[in-house]
Amino acid sequence: MSRRRNILLGGGAAAAVVAAAGAFAFVDTGNSEATADDSPAATTEIERRDMARTEDFDGTLSYGTAYTMNGTLQGTVTDMAEPGTVLEPGTAAYFVDNEPVVVMQGELPMWRELAPGTEGPDVRQLEEYLSENGYENWFTVDDEYTWATAEAVEDWQADIGAAETGTVPLGSVVFLPDTMRVSEQLASVGDPANGAILGYTRDRRSVTLELDVLDQDLAEEGLAVTVTLPDGTEVDGEVTEVSTTVSGGGSEDDMGGEEEPTTIEVTVTVADDEALEDLESAPVTVELTNEVHEDVLAVPVEALLALREGGYGLEISDGSATEIVPVETGIFSQGMVEVAGDGLEEGMSVVVPE
């Protein structure tokens, strides 16, 4: 698990930001006014805006876990769906002896032949598919495979070019809980059909990242996030799942290494899948926002001055003279810092040291 912080809080951290910006300087507020000739020419205005504290985490974009579709029919593989094919209900995943093995929507895998006299939830699953696809006039959707169910199956078999038997042999249908995508062909045309045929995954890409359990408050389902792709493109995303299972946290290994961090898995779905173009798997960065301050005053980080007596200040200019004003800092984000102090107002000119 890796992350990069976009924020710095507290006195020492703020000083580090200013130093990194090349603007770190100590000033003495005992003589807080100067003439315009003593002031640097560069100024900027105090802004009023929303400020957000964010953290960047490394994640992986992919289609997720790959599953194996195993065939159970006796026969020969005569055709298969190509990698990238979306296995929607009604799609032929592959062909055995030139007859299609069809994908249907359902949570239960097929474990037996379905024929007149069969009863159970797998019968209902089959009948629900048939009913939703125009074969609803011959039977009642229930747990019983009747002669009316068999007639509907025969009509369906005729439409897909399969033998019209009125029964559904084990292996002639593949029930999948969601729309899936072929990731690879595990068999070749001519292979026996009773083995691994296809690899498949979800049909949409998503981002997974591992959060330390101490950071789990940063992610909640429905949270809007920003995902940065390898080429620097930013796309919108949303946290769609936060695992309740904690991993890691074991004892030190036998070689005396550090204890494995305790993490939870977070899944982010990208709003516009087309924006990902042809990426199948890639490292990405996910920006999580864990605090927002609305309608606050803000200035560029480099405008901060470290005061000798401690704390930070701004050099306020009225065009003819400047004055050092102590300020309290809040959120640091994207080169800006939240500031508050007596007399500070939106639009005031602030000196930015060169």
**CATH number of the domain that 226 lies in?**
2.40.30.170
Domain that holds residue 229: 57-63+205-290
Q: Is 172 in the same domain as 241? A: no
The predicted structure's pLDDT at residue 255: 53
Pick the last residue of a domain from 202, 235, 265: 202
pLDDT for the residue 353? 80
Which CATH number goes with the domain that contains 186?
A: 1.10.101.10
Asked whether the whole model's pTM tops 0.75, one would answer no
Task: Identify whether residues 96 and 190 lie together within a single domain.
Answer: yes
Same domain assignment for residues 230 and 332: no
On whether both 97 and 22 belong to a single domain, the answer is no
- Which two tokens mark 20? 């990194």
Q: Is residue 218 located within the same domain as residue 252?
A: yes
Q: Looking at the structure, do residues 242 and 122 belong to the same domain, yes or no?
A: no
Q: Are 35 and 110 within one domain?
A: no
What b/e readout covers 115-154, taking b as 16+ CB neighbours within 10 angstroms?
Answer: beebeeebbbbbbebbbeeebeebbebeebbbeebbebbb
Integer-rounded Cα Rg, in Å, for the chain is: 32
Q: Give the Å distances, CA to CA, from 231 to 86, 237, 273.
A: 27, 17, 16
Predicted pLDDT at 138: 80
CB 342 within 8 A of CB 325: yes
Q: Is 301 helix (H, G, I), strand (E, B) or coil?
A: helix
Residues 262 and 155 in one domain: no
H or E element that contains 123? helix 121-132
Give the per-residue pLDDT at 9: 34
pLDDT of residue 79: 98
In this structure, are 81 and 178 located in the same domain? yes
Consecutive sets of 10 residues in the chain, 354 residues long: mean pLDDT of each? 42 41 50 48 90 89 95 97 96 97 96 97 97 88 96 96 96 96 98 98 94 83 93 95 76 56 91 91 90 92 92 92 94 90 95 85
- Same domain, yes or no: 72 and 193: yes
Decide which of 240, 258, 290 is a domain's last residue.
290
pLDDT of residue 41: 58
Both tokens of residue 59?
């994640």
Q: What is the dihedral of CA 113, 115, 118, 120, to 10 degrees?
A: 60
Closest CA to 264 of 250, 252, 251, 248: 248
Q: How many domains does the chain have?
A: 3
pLDDT of 17 reads: 46
User: Which of 242, 268, 290 is the C-terminal boundary of a domain?
Assistant: 290
How far is the C-alpha of 270 from the C-alpha of 106, rounded, in Å?
A: 26
pLDDT at 27: 58
| 78 shares a domain with 29 | no
> Do residues 147 and 45 share a domain?
no
